[in-house]
A and B are shown apart, each in its own frame.
Chain A
Amino acid sequence: MTVSFLRVSACVMLLSLVTACGKVPWNDPYPVAERGKNILYSVFNERPKHLDPARSYSSNEVIFTGQIYEPPLQYHYLKRPYTLEPLTAQAMPEVQYFNAQGQALPADAAAESIAYSDYVIQIKPGIYYQPHPAFVQDAQENYVYQHLRPEQIAALQSPTDLPLQAKRELTAEDYVFQIKRLASPRLNSPIFGLMSDYILGLKEYGELLSRESNKLKSENGAEAYLDLNRYPLQGAQALDRYRYRIRIKGKYAQFNYWLAMQFFAPVPWEVEKFYAQPGMKEKNFVLDWYPVGTGPYMLAENNPNKQMVLVKNPNYHGDRYPSSGEPGDRASGLLADAGKPLPFIDRAVYTLEKEDIPYWNKFLQGYYDASGISSDTFDQAVKIGGTGEAALTPDMQAKGIQLKTTVATSISYIGFNMQDAVVGGLSERARKLRQAISIAIDSEEMISIFRNGRGIAAQGPIPPGIFGYEEGEAGINHYVYDWVKGKPERKSIAQAKRLLAEAGYPGGRDATSGQPLLLNFDTSAVGPDAKSHLEWLVKQLNKIDVQLVIRSTDYNRFQDKMLKGDAQIFEWGWNADYPDPENFLFLLYGPNKKVGLNGENAANYDNPEFNRLFEQMKNMDNSPARQQVITQMLEIARRDAPWVWGFYPKNYALYHAWYFNAKPNLMANNSLKYLRIDAKERERMRNLWNQPILWPIAVLLLALAAVLLPAALAYRRKVHAAPSARKAK
């Protein structure tokens, strides 16, 4: 039985050997038809939830929406520090300030005197949307597909199955339409709350839409189309076909950064109306799933269960590769394509890959063009040189893989709940306790054990690359570090213990009651690394004889605790929205508290002096004066130590030899258009690396046979011997 089964399976193997012959690798996960094509292969690790520019906010969605939608501004691909430049706009927006009487104010007017500011944006003419059935008009300029019958819709596999498609020019009205959409009760945009504080009349507009929407629903059913074009918005108006104006309350110096995000990308009203037809939603035919933009790519396949495919937009207005960059970019070949038309790549295939191990191995086999490095594959890919700089291992170098590193514009920290009775508050006692803990938790060791050195111990909330960060001795946190021999050195444990004693806990025990000091660490961490990480933390506090109780819970409970202020010590992080110190310092701004106010200040830190300086700093231009204010703020925060400052992560990215123009840009999310690949070279390398090796299988089969043979013989013997044996009984 077993033998025959094996025989069959051996035959199947042989058969597949014959059919799959040739020098084509067997382990190629892509269809044969795609071989040698100018296609980029990448991954996504979580199904994107929203591709609607008004809703999408997470990084795994932006990899798609960034290529499809074009906001008026973008970040320069090569320049550092990050610089904004026009994308669909003709030039950077003109800003005009007005006082309460509506009189124009000069550009250097004091922030308090400004009642509102106008941003006028002029867009380039001749930009067209990707082909889409929603744009199709007949000779009488009637829309052909705006009144489909439900059974017509039910028969479609995808909205693009409709026979006719057309293009349409981008107008200023589309940008205004999208700003109105931010307030729509049916979309629930994540930035509506924030923007309604800034864009004039947006809050009232949201209320108006809510009322109208409910009225429509009760009159015409839940799916009745809410036509935003019927309701004007005071804060955003089109001035002519190519010009629109956004009116901001007061002064908002960071608003330009928002204009580089998808939230401010154009959405054509025809498409919105097209998708609002009854029967569309049941088929998943919504803007959230079938985005329509002016960008270099359009979404050709949307199967979040397996793969997402972007293809070149035939109507793309054309853009050129930048011809200037940072010093050193020319030497590293990043300017070789200067001035060439974009995009280079015809198609980008993103495959769902939930686990790190398959991702990494497929990268090594050449089936993905780029990869990050997880902590556990680190030693395989990177060795740290004698002087501490990272270099690729010989294996990786032999494969022609390139390594690029950047310090992320984010911070990962351990926060104290400032409303907690033991660790919180601005009293001297609590402050010293926090400082002692800050010294005890050795971020450098954490970086070296858990991140293989991929990070920089943080000295404050502002990471390098953002204005306000200072190098050298001036930038260190004197409450935790000393400046020794040209570099920061963590203060000793003895010093931490002394601080602890001064805080009233000599030897880790309450000086009055003698009870040991118990602190709680709240976490929702799961996963294989959580255990060692938590153990490591306990170990850190043990160094100063403090007991840390890990209260691990699930994500929901953890969020609830944070909202209620029940947590004591916790881990948190922040990823910058835009490269401005305001985006980091507001994490410590009192009125932005988490408890009660639902803000992003998770530690609930509230120091009046810090708050005052923040309000001053917020609207300043990057200047020595601003730096001075920031330095003061940092000093206050470091002394109060509401966070153990943690670390700024460093990103390591690997690229294959056939992958060109890669420069990690943490702000720009439309970088696909700059990339170029050499598909021929890739094909050659894939074939070279993936030749099937068969002999171990043959050995395995032989070994199996060797094991089974004696058993088969024994069976035969036993069957033949059995009758006589039984007789003997």
Chain B
Amino acid sequence: MMPQFTPLWTDWLIYALLLIIAVYIAYTRSKPHLLAPWRKVMRSPTAIASSVILLVFVTIGLLDSIHFREALPQQNNGEKTVYSAEIISLFDRMATPLRNHVEKTYSAPLAVNLFAMESVEQPDGRVARLFPRLKYAGSHLGKDIEHSTRDQWRLFIKGSLWGAVIWVLLCLVLNAALASHARIDFSQMARRLWRGDTELPWRTLLLTIGMVLWLSAIAWQIAPRYHLFGTDKVGLDVLYLALKSIRTGLIIGILTTLVMLPFALLFGIMAGYFKGWVDDVIQYIYTVLNSIPSVLLIAAAVLMLQVYMDLNKDSFNSVVERADVRLLFLCLILGVTSWTGLCRLLRAETLKLREFDYVQAAHALGASHWKIMTRHIVPNVMHIVLITITLEFSSLVLAEAVLAYVGVGVDPSMNSWGNMINSARLELAREPMVWWPLAAAFVFMFVLVLAANLFADAVRDAFDPRVQ
């Protein structure tokens, strides 16, 4: 039976965003002057490597954005199909073993026993304190459990081999394609590729893909049989939680930026450029907004949403939907609170730029305000915009943890790095320390933030008007 497709609010926004990107790409392809800087981006090895990583994250995020409800088995014939109340995503479906292998409580990465001792009644009736076996991890070994390390090495090698095989195949195909495109023979192309002597950094691309393939092949082998990153307090697989958090992180980072950017750009530049009453009005708006502690603003907004949800209980029948609306709202309100910083920066920079000779000259030549702003001012403040967005993106992913500390973050039932970090606060104080949920959150966040930063640096360089 077909599952019932049930997109969430944020899903729709993501689809819309995809559509816009697709249109932009189609449009850019036909305009060489727009395409040129992107070509330049592509030529930078760091940009290529980081975009591969970003793409992996985005893909996982997208897979996690296709939500549906599965049909329940029919009870009596001839009835309408009834769907499960639980909304899951395509990613959940793919990661079913990870999702379902829920242990009792903490277990360390790759462990086959629980992390804490428990009183267990022996068959002879005596009670012993021991580390009980996990229900799922290593269960395929049966009694042969003491060889779990050997089994893990076996899976590691098997995964590595799989990864290597796929990678080599990919290399061959790419090489063949490149060779035919450049009209040179296969081995010559291979040599060039090996030396990195190509216009686009294919070698970096292949190496990055190789790395990703290797890691995911290992994870693919080990994760269904063991808990690669251990389990959390209620026994959920930490790898699964960290992967699920990708979507939350991306949405908070991207949606919020999208909300704030138009405000900040428009208002900031207008205030600096026109000065006078326009400046006054805009300053008025952001001063009022900024004077209210953002925690209070966010808390108030989230609470208002809750009032709304309580009044319309029936439209929010599942945890996922409730959490999703809250996330969306959080993005909106974070966007509203965070545009002021960039706006002030842009205003200041514009105040300076508008007095520059070329702007004054353009003015004297009778160029329209709009034209001056878009042609002369926007390109010259782009570096500020880009670095702010990147930093903002990174800090938003983190801000969530601080918001969770105050109690107004994403829904507690939502998987997010912020929630993971926040609970790690207590886990670190445990003795012995439970470090893996924090480590997993940190690794994923670090990779994402690093890739975003490096990519943004490359983009900045490519679009710098002076370097061209």
* A residues in contact (CB < 8 Å) with B: 356-357, 360, 374-380, 383-388, 445, 448-450, 485, 509, 513-516, 518, 525-532, 534-536, 538-539, 547, 549-554, 556-557, 561, 566
The contact of A357 among B119, B232, B404, B429, by CB within 8 Å, is B429
Residues in A with CB closer than 8 Å to B310 are 551, 553, 557, 561, 566
> Taking the complex as formed, is B394 at the interface, i.e. its CB lies under 8 A from any CB of chain A?
no
Residue of B nearest to A361 (CB): B429
Shortest distance from the beta carbon of A419 to any chain B beta carbon, whole Å? 16
* CB contact under 8 A between A385 and B129, given known A514-B75, A518-B317: yes
Inter-subunit contact B429/A552 (CB<8 Å): no
Residues in B with CB closer than 8 Å to A531 are 412-413, 419, 423
Residues in A with CB closer than 8 Å to B443 are none
Inter-subunit contact B127/A379 (CB<8 Å): no
Residues in B with CB closer than 8 Å to A378 are 430
Residues in B with CB closer than 8 Å to A385 are 129
> Taking the complex as formed, is B102 at the interface, i.e. its CB lies under 8 A from any CB of chain A?
yes
Nearest first, the 3 closest Cβ-Cβ pairs linking A and B are: A380-B431, A526-B407, A532-B233
Shortest distance from the beta carbon of A568 to any chain B beta carbon, whole Å? 10
Q: 29 A-B contacts, Cβ less than 8 Å apart?
A: A356-B429, A357-B425, A360-B429, A374-B429, A375-B426, A376-B427, A376-B430, A379-B430, A379-B432, A380-B430, A388-B119, A448-B118, A450-B233, A509-B72, A526-B412, A528-B423, A528-B425, A532-B232, A534-B412, A534-B413, A536-B234, A538-B319, A539-B102, A539-B234, A549-B319, A550-B319, A550-B413, A552-B411, A554-B303
Residues in A with CB closer than 8 Å to B146 are none
Shortest distance from the beta carbon of A509 to any chain B beta carbon, whole Å? 7
In the complex, A528 Cα to B402 Cα: how many Å? 11
A interface footprint on B391-403 (CB within 8 Å = 1, 0 otherwise): 0000000000000
Inter-subunit contact A376/B426 (CB<8 Å): yes
Inter-subunit contact B234/A509 (CB<8 Å): no
Residue of A nearest to B405 (CB): A528
> Taking the complex as formed, is B185 at the interface, i.e. its CB lies under 8 A from any CB of chain A?
no
In the complex, A530 Cα to B119 Cα: how many Å? 26
Task: From B1-9, B18-26, B82-90, B274-282, give the one contacting chain A.
Answer: B82-90
Inter-subunit contact B429/A554 (CB<8 Å): no
Residue of A nearest to B431 (CB): A380
Residues in A with CB closer than 8 Å to B322 are 549-551
Residue of A nearest to B423 (CB): A528
Inter-subunit contact A384/B431 (CB<8 Å): no
In the complex, A376 Cα to B434 Cα: how many Å? 10
Inter-subunit contact A557/B306 (CB<8 Å): yes
Residues in A with CB closer than 8 Å to B79 are 514
Shortest distance from the beta carbon of B424 to any chain A beta carbon, whole Å? 8
In the complex, A530 Cα to B299 Cα: how many Å? 18
> Taking the complex as formed, is B172 at the interface, i.e. its CB lies under 8 A from any CB of chain A?
no
Inter-subunit contact B318/A530 (CB<8 Å): no
Shortest distance from the beta carbon of A725 to any chain B beta carbon, whole Å? 19
Query: Besides the contacts A376-B429, A532-B232, A532-B423, what 12 more A-B pairs have beta carbons closer than 8 Å?
Result: A377-B429, A388-B119, A449-B105, A513-B82, A514-B75, A531-B419, A534-B412, A535-B236, A538-B319, A538-B413, A549-B318, A550-B413
Residue of B nearest to A561 (CB): B310
> Taking the complex as formed, is B285 at the interface, i.e. its CB lies under 8 A from any CB of chain A?
no
* CB contact under 8 A between A388 and B127, given known A516-B85, A527-B407, A553-B306: yes
Residues in B with CB closer than 8 Å to A528 are 404, 422-426
Inter-subunit contact A449/B306 (CB<8 Å): no
The contact of A552 among B413, B430, B432, by CB within 8 Å, is B413
* CB contact under 8 A between A554 and B423, given known A449-B233, A535-B236, A535-B413: no
Residues in B with CB closer than 8 Å to A516 are 72, 82, 84-85
Residues in B with CB closer than 8 Å to A551 are 309-310, 322
A interface footprint on B286-320 (CB within 8 Å = 1, 0 otherwise): 00000000000001000100110110000001110
Inter-subunit contact B82/A535 (CB<8 Å): no
Residue of A nearest to B420 (CB): A531
Shortest distance from the beta carbon of B76 to any chain A beta carbon, whole Å? 8
Residues in A with CB closer than 8 Å to B429 are 356-357, 360, 374, 376-377
A interface footprint on B123-154 (CB within 8 Å = 1, 0 otherwise): 00101110000000000000000000000000
Residue of A nearest to B321 (CB): A549
The contact of B72 among A357, A377, A514, by CB within 8 Å, is A514
Inter-subunit contact B85/A449 (CB<8 Å): no
> Taking the complex as formed, is B161 at the interface, i.e. its CB lies under 8 A from any CB of chain A?
no
Residues in A with CB closer than 8 Å to B129 are 384-386
In the complex, A379 Cα to B427 Cα: how many Å? 11
B85, B127, B422 pick with most chain A CB within 10 angstroms: B85
Inter-subunit contact B82/A514 (CB<8 Å): yes
In the complex, A549 Cα to B117 Cα: how many Å? 32
> Taking the complex as formed, is B361 at the interface, i.e. its CB lies under 8 A from any CB of chain A?
no
In the complex, A374 Cα to B427 Cα: how many Å? 12
In the complex, A386 Cα to B51 Cα: how many Å? 55
In the complex, A143 Cα to B318 Cα: how many Å? 68
Inter-subunit contact B127/A387 (CB<8 Å): yes
Residue of B nearest to A536 (CB): B234
Residues in A with CB closer than 8 Å to B232 are 532
Residues in B with CB closer than 8 Å to A514 are 72, 74-76, 79, 82
Inter-subunit contact A552/B72 (CB<8 Å): no
In the complex, A554 Cα to B425 Cα: how many Å? 22
Residue of B nearest to A379 (CB): B431
Residues in B with CB closer than 8 Å to A383 are 117
B residues 88-129 with Cβ under 8 Å of A? 102, 104-105, 116-119, 125, 127-129
Residue of A nearest to B76 (CB): A514
Residues in B with CB closer than 8 Å to A550 are 319, 322, 412-413
A interface footprint on B53-87 (CB within 8 Å = 1, 0 otherwise): 00000000000000000001011100100101110
Residue of A nearest to B75 (CB): A514
Residue of B nearest to A448 (CB): B118
The contact of A386 among B127, B407, B413, by CB within 8 Å, is B127
Shortest distance from the beta carbon of A384 to any chain B beta carbon, whole Å? 6
Residues in A with CB closer than 8 Å to B128 are 386
Shortest distance from the beta carbon of B49 to any chain A beta carbon, whole Å? 25
Residues in B with CB closer than 8 Å to A375 are 426
In the complex, A535 Cα to B322 Cα: how many Å? 15
* CB contact under 8 A between A449 and B426, given known A380-B431, A534-B412: no
In the complex, A485 Cα to B429 Cα: how many Å? 38
Residues in A with CB closer than 8 Å to B419 are 531
In the complex, A449 Cα to B423 Cα: how many Å? 14
In the complex, A386 Cα to B118 Cα: how many Å? 10
Inter-subunit contact B307/A449 (CB<8 Å): no
Shortest distance from the beta carbon of A378 to any chain B beta carbon, whole Å? 8
Residue of B nearest to A535 (CB): B234
In the complex, A526 Cα to B303 Cα: how many Å? 13
In the complex, A539 Cα to B411 Cα: how many Å? 17
Shortest distance from the beta carbon of B339 to any chain A beta carbon, whole Å? 26
Inter-subunit contact B86/A547 (CB<8 Å): yes
In the complex, A566 Cα to B128 Cα: how many Å? 46
Residues in A with CB closer than 8 Å to B426 are 356, 374-376, 528-529
* CB contact under 8 A between A557 and B236, given known A384-B119, A549-B317: no
Residue of B nearest to A393 (CB): B431
Residues in A with CB closer than 8 Å to B423 are 528-529, 531-532
Shortest distance from the beta carbon of A524 to any chain B beta carbon, whole Å? 9
Residues in B with CB closer than 8 Å to A450 are 233
Residues in B with CB closer than 8 Å to A536 are 233-234
The contact of A557 among B299, B303, B411, B430, by CB within 8 Å, is B303
Shortest distance from the beta carbon of A379 to any chain B beta carbon, whole Å? 5
In the complex, A547 Cα to B426 Cα: how many Å? 29
In the complex, A554 Cα to B304 Cα: how many Å? 10
Residues in B with CB closer than 8 Å to A539 are 102, 234
Inter-subunit contact B430/A509 (CB<8 Å): no
In the complex, A182 Cα to B442 Cα: how many Å? 55
Residue of B nearest to A395 (CB): B431
Residue of A nearest to B126 (CB): A386
In the complex, A379 Cα to B116 Cα: how many Å? 9
Residue of A nearest to B306 (CB): A553
A interface footprint on B253-283 (CB within 8 Å = 1, 0 otherwise): 0000000000000000000000000000000
